[in-house]
Structure 1
Amino acid sequence: MSNRRRQADDFEITADLPDSPMHTTGTDHITLIGSNTEDTVEFYRDILGMPLVLRQPNLDDPSQTHLFFDTGDGRIVTFFVNEDRDSDPRPQRTGVGAVHHLSFSIDPEEFVEIRETLNEEWRGCNEFDRGIFHSLYTQDHNGLVIELSTDKWAIPDDRRGEVLATAQRIREEDGADFAEERHIEQALDELGMDVEKYDLPDADTGSGV
């Protein structure tokens, strides 16, 4: 019997539901350990524009406050904060089990304005053309990388996985290392989807957040 660990290419890419004992229905919320209320609200509400929709004691540790922010579509990101904790803007520590970054969707028509806001009112940002989407990267007050991303096409949320899985198959058949615009365009054509392509600024395709 082989002890070989299965590799990434061993797993099928498909938008079909797997044969598993359960299926999730979406993301309810993500909870992070924050610093204090003031710094957390300043970035997530006052810079990113997320309404603070609920505040209560942490049910598992009442010495901490639990802050709930609406990310824009009813999905929630929350923070456990304590007024005795200072923010630490140094880059987040990485490793197995760590959070690399959070990505929030933004309106493509506000992309340039959001970029200017981050540069003028926060700590700046990096902008990258990621081939199939367009992103801005900044850091919150605790050094966590925050991605603000928009698709390049007006793909309905309920078809997004299907489009990406189809583009993945086309990319592999094409022998390309990464998914590119042409792969999404071919996927949309194959699926019979006539959707708008957004007018986004040119940007480098490099790496580095």
Structure 2
Amino acid sequence: MSDNTNDTEPPVTAERPDSAFHVTGTDHITLIGSNVEDTVEFYRDVLGMPLVLKQPNLDAPHVTHLFFDTGDGRIITFFVEEGRQSNPAPQRTGIGAVHHISFRFDPERIEEVRAGLEERGRGYNEFDRSIFYSLYTSDHNGLTIELTTDKFDVPDDRRGEVLALAQRKRVEAGADYAKEEHLEAALEELDIPVEPVDLPDAPTGAGGLD
């Protein structure tokens, strides 16, 4: 059943679509990076991602392929080259470009995240996103990095189901965007324990860096 009033819009649902085939998850995402040193310094030494594989790009051996474990076994990789200069200026995205990448952190470690960014001279903005909470910074090439944590304990294997039901609650309530009460109601309806986490107050609004 569609949660949209306009039947021409795609349905928002956690049910598997009648598609050509179904993928089973994200394996890795690859970005064009600058050089080894700056990429390792940010993703390993600031965000804490182990560098788990370093080898030539199989399609262009003069390019180095770096693999980082993001923390849950999912991988982010970079094609880098010696001599490429990093460019910290904010990126201007176009169709098909990457707007931002979001990584999760444990809510009880928010002070550690703030302190770590500050110690490394990384500016950040902090926002309450209603159903989640985020800090925004940028990497050495101006890519916006979102560091986010859930406001409720949502099981990973039921995240899509929870969000799709929260979407239905949002539509039924006539709200412009999903709010805490929609997510909480979805968890209750799905018989998932409602366990709010303790997070500080923060403004809502546009993300990114000043």
Offset of 1:117 from its aligned partner?
Answer: 1.6
Match of 2:9 in 1: 10
Match for residue 127 of structure 1? 126
Residue 208 (structure 1) shift: 2.8
**Structure 1 residue aligned with 2:178:** 179
1:80 equivalent in alignment to 2:83: no
- What does residue 3 of structure 1 align with? none
C-alpha offsets along residues 145-203 of structure 1, whole Å, 9 cap, x if unaligned?
Answer: 00011111111101111110000000000000010000001111111111321111111
Structure 2 unaligned blocks of 5 or more: 1-5
Deviations 1:122-162 (A, max 9, x none): 32100001010000100000000000111111111011111
Following the alignment from structure 1 to structure 2, what is the Cα–Cα distance between the partners of residues 99 and 117?
25
Distance in structure 1 (CA, Å) of the matches to 2:42 and 2:147: 13
Q: Superposed, which structure 2 residues align to 1:1-209 within 5 Å?
A: 10-209=9-208
Shift of 1:120: 2.8
Structure 1 segments unaligned to the other structure (5+ residues) = 1-6
Letter in 2 for 1:114: V
Runs (4+) of structure 1 exceeding 3 A deviation are none
Kindly indicate whether the alpha-carbon contact (under 8 Å) linking 1:152 and 1:197 is maintained by their aligned counterparts in 2: yes
Assess if the C-alpha contact under 8 Å between 2:52 and 2:67 holds in 1: yes
SS class of match (2:11): coil
Partners of 1:178 and 1:122 in 2: CA distance: 33
Letter in 2 for 1:203: A
TM-score (normalizing by structure 1): 0.94
Residue type of the alignment partner of 1:146: I
1:93 deviation in Å?
Answer: 2.1
State whether residues 89 and 142 of structure 2, in contact with CA within 8 Å, keep that contact through their aligned partners in structure 1.
yes
Return the offset for 1:8. Answer: 10
**8 Å CA contact 2:188, 2:194 repeated in 1:** no
The one-letter amino acid paired with 1:202 is D
Q: Which letter maps to 1:119?
A: E
Aligned amino acid, residue 80 of structure 1: F
Q: Deviations over 1:73-100 (max 9, x none)?
A: 0000000000110000011121101100
The Cα of 1:43 is off from its aligned counterpart by 0.2
TM-score (norm 2): 0.94
